[in-house]
Amino acid sequence: MMRHIKKSAASILMLLVPLLFHSTASGKTIYSVGFDYRKAVPSSVYFAGKSHKEVDHLCETGEHASTADIAACSQRDYEIIFAKLKSKIKSLEDGFKKDDAELKAEDNPIASPYFEKGQNAWIEFRDNQCYAETYSLGEASMRYMTFWDCMARITRERLDDLDSAKD
């Protein structure tokens, strides 16, 4: 009976050892793999259970903040500025569509398709720029902070551009 147990244990161990070494030998961490920001869980989920005031304090001061906290604060900043951009885009699109009706009636080219193409090109530029800045760090714990800070920075610049272009 003892020999059967030893033999079974040895068989199980032989099956598990390659699995254990494969998973640990690969050395992959959350900082060494690609990610898709569009699949990211909203920062509100990360901060669930904290009051708005607590989150504001943590994000503004960084007091007692972990790396994950700071990354979530960076993501939150992006989400806030992106919401403003979406509102601005909607307002501009409505204006273009209204103006396009007059242009079309006078048999002139319309603007809204070009605005849409420009916005799509800008999104592609922003995403590529931020992934490049982030992945250039390699396997760094500040990877997500860098990514969300880049997204917020470039989105803020876009919002400023759209504000000044319409003035």
Q: How far apart are alpha carbons 145 and 151 in whole angstroms?
A: 10
Q: Does the predicted TM-score (pTM) go above 0.85?
A: no
Tell me the HSE value of 58 on the side-chain side, using a 13 A CA sphere.
21
Rounded-to-integer distance, Cα 86 and Cα 129, Å: 20
Question: What is the predicted pLDDT for the residue at 139?
Answer: 78
Q: How far lies 99's CA from each of 51, 94, 103, 118, 159, in Å? A: 44, 9, 6, 18, 21
Domain boundaries, the chain: 28-166
Mean pLDDT of 32-47: 89
CA dihedral 142, 144, 145, 147 (to 10 degrees): 120
Residues 6 or more apart whose CB falls under 8 angstroms from that of 139 comprise 29, 31, 32
Cα end-to-end distance, the chain, whole Å: 87
Would you state the pLDDT for residue 44? 95
Q: Give helix 67-105 / helix 143-166 axis angle, nearest 10°.
A: 30
Whether the Cβ atoms of residue 79 and residue 114 lie closer than 8 Å to each other: no
Q: What is the mean pLDDT of residues 11-27?
A: 38
Can you tell me the mean pLDDT for 135-140?
A: 83
Residue 13 has pLDDT above 60, yes or no: no
Q: Among 10-24, 62-76, 80-94, 130-144, whose mean pLDDT is lowest?
A: 10-24
Nearest in space to 65 (alpha carbons), one of 81, 78, 50: 50
Mean pLDDT of 140-152: 90
- pLDDT beyond 80 at 45: yes
